Amino acid sequence: MNVSQKACGSNSDFFSGFMIAGTSTNSGKTSLVLAFMTALKRRNFQLFGFKSGPDYIDPLLHYFASANLSYNLDTCLMSEDSCRQVFYSERTQTKIADNLFSGLIPFQRKPENQTQKLGSVHIVEAAMGLFDGVYGGAKSSSSPRGSAGFLAKILNIPIVLVVDAASYAHSIAAMVQGFVNFDPELNFLGVIVNKVASLKHKELIREAFEVYCPHIPLLALIPKESKLELKSRYLGLNFEAVAEESYFDLLADRLEAHLEINLIDFVQSLPRFKYTQNLDEKDDRAKTSLSCLGSKPVEKIHKDKVRIGIAADKAFCFHYALNYQALMKAGAELEFFSPLNDKNIPHNLDALLLGGGYTEEHAKDLSCNINMLHSINEALNNGVSVWAEGGGFIYLGKGLYIQGKDFFSFADYFPLSFSFEQKRQGLGYVNAEFKNSTLVAQKNSCLSGHLFHYSKVLETEFPLGFIPLYALTNYNGTQVEEKKIVACVKSGTYNAGGFMHLMCNEKDNIAENFVQLCKKTDVF
């Protein structure tokens, strides 16, 4: 284990970075990331968050705390070079974040400090346990592909390990030693022990570190406080439960009260990295790296501009910022709207993007907004194209049953009925072989994505005029949900939807294909 000791500075060409990882899920990683972000922001640092894996909710909470976009870094869905480029790129704009997330913040944000920042800090929040990766990924590395450990290695960043102290005393030393020594290529800054139950418990854990692992820095012993624990719901943490901005200050206060090292000294111990480029610049390198869909670019362009409508509100809150930046770099103009609150989609759109979210929790309000449902249906029947994922797929269906009881009518563009179930219906990384062409991929091409849904299609056969979109296999080649309808496309159009979620991957040309197909006046 090598503890980094490189001083940080305010030079805008450089940033400091580290990862907060846990021994398991529910160890308190997110609360500590938010605490560090808030504490450093109060010291006038510029904070940028990142999340390993495909999670949507944690990056949203990062935005709440930092006021900056947070980016997913997923080594199953992105190449190593793409992950590095996103992490090492400077970013200056927040208008995408404001459009996507400002309406979700349940509190009034305090005015930003306009004085010169002391420096930038990039914090990566790990997913699950540090070494949890994809099936078969452990065969070639101590840190399997898809794991946070694998990501930390390719980014070359140090790790703060978070351990849930519940049910541990001296045995915690064995746990920590095992994690620190498991992969010798990883660099640990130290350990934060979370959810300490009492002063006696604290003394036992401190003794365990002093006796059994004195070479491993104990950065903090954080007491358990139920009122500060982030509550979970299906699909992730409940961001709507964060009702006051003071919540983040409370997290930061608790962290600073129990850190064994001064916060500024901690930042000065972090390695510094040089920015490689501005993520917002319109250059060919960024455009190539951030494109995320399709195969060979489509030719025969007829329109100068493409306007894409993006659904964004509490019902449609699952977003990958890189996807939208890729579309803008490909020449698209993005128009954001709320299916919950607006009466119509924006005017003069060429396409719609309906992502995932909590469609079922807002089913009644979505169903009652008849004007919006009519507006979407009319647009799709008059030449506007659509790509819909997860909740967006459900929203374009006939309607949704909530656990077999209440039924809420939706757009009825896809003649499919959906049911929200108590049991999870799909989870994990998948490979999709496209059986028909859409805006995001051409027929016979393959893309990787992920599933995480509690709803299902009730029909067992495709309705007249609708055809299969893709066949799914998981990472060991086994077919996934082969006897269910998980996606469809309307015959004679590129209008498609499904449960699979896509993330940027520079190997493909999704953004370019999406925009160029929209520019054609004679798609079919």
pLDDT score of 289 more than 60: no
Nearest residue to 130 (alpha-carbon basis) of 24, 289, 57: 24
Cα–Cα distance for residue pair 512/160, rounded to 1 Å: 39
- Which DSSP category does 482 fall into? T
Question: What pLDDT is recorded for position 99?
Answer: 76
Q: Is the pLDDT of residue 52 over 50?
A: yes
Q: Report which listed range, 93-102, 183-192, 299-308, is most confident.
A: 183-192
> What pLDDT score was predicted for residue 482?
74
Give CATH 3.40.50.300 domain extents, the chain: 14-108+118-274
Please report, rounded to a whole number, the percentage of residues in the chain having pLDDT higher than 90.
64
Q: Dmax over Cα atoms in the chain, in whole Å?
A: 74
- Among 186, 162, 221, smallest CA distance to 31 is for 162
Long-range contacts of 276-284 (CB under 8 A, 24+ apart): 276/85, 276/88, 276/89, 277/85, 277/89, 277/90, 278/89, 278/90, 278/91, 278/92, 279/86, 279/89, 279/90, 279/91, 279/325, 280/91, 280/92, 280/93, 280/325, 282/329
Q: Directed axis angle between helix 172-182 and helix 199-212, to 10°? A: 50
CB 214 within 8 A of CB 28: no
- Which pLDDT does position 36 carry in this prediction? 97
The pLDDT, as a whole number, for residue 524 is 38
Q: What is the pLDDT of residues 19-49, one digit of tens each?
A: 999 999 889 999 999 999 999 999 999 999 9
Q: Which CATH architecture has domain 14-108+118-274?
A: 3-Layer(aba) Sandwich (3.40)
Confidence bin at 295 (pLDDT 50/70/90): very low
Top-ranked range on mean pLDDT: pick from 235-239, 253-257, 518-522: 253-257
Q: Is 44 left (phi over 0), alpha (psi -120 to 50) or beta?
A: left
As to burial, measured by CB atoms within 10 angstroms (0-12 exposed, 13-18 middle, 19+ buried), residue 239 is buried
- Chain mean pLDDT for the chain: 86
Range with the largest mean pLDDT of 114-123, 226-235, 406-415: 406-415
Answer whether residue 1 shows pLDDT above 70.
no
Of 207-216, 338-347, 350-359, 422-431, which range is least confident?
Answer: 422-431
Name the DSSP class of 318: B
Cα pseudo-dihedral 143, 149, 152, 157, rounded to 10: -110
Query: What is the rounded distance in angstroms from the CA atom of residue 216 to the CA atom of residue 201?
Result: 19
Task: Identify any residues that bridge with 14 across adjacent strands, giving them in sequence order.
Answer: 274
Would you mind telling me the total number of residues written for the chain in this entry? 524
In this prediction, residue 232 has a pLDDT band, given cuts at 50, 70 and 90, of: low
pLDDT band, very low/low/confident/very high, at 140 (cuts 50, 70, 90): low
Higher pLDDT, 321 or 32: 32
Better-predicted residue by pLDDT, 13 or 365: 365
Residues 151/184, Cβ–Cβ less than 8 Å = no
pLDDT in tens, 336-361: 999 999 999 999 999 999 999 999 99
CATH topology classification for 282-519: Rossmann fold (3.40.50)
- Where do you find CATH 3.40.50.880 in the chain? 282-519
| CA-CA-CA-CA torsion sign (451, 88, 186, 42) | negative
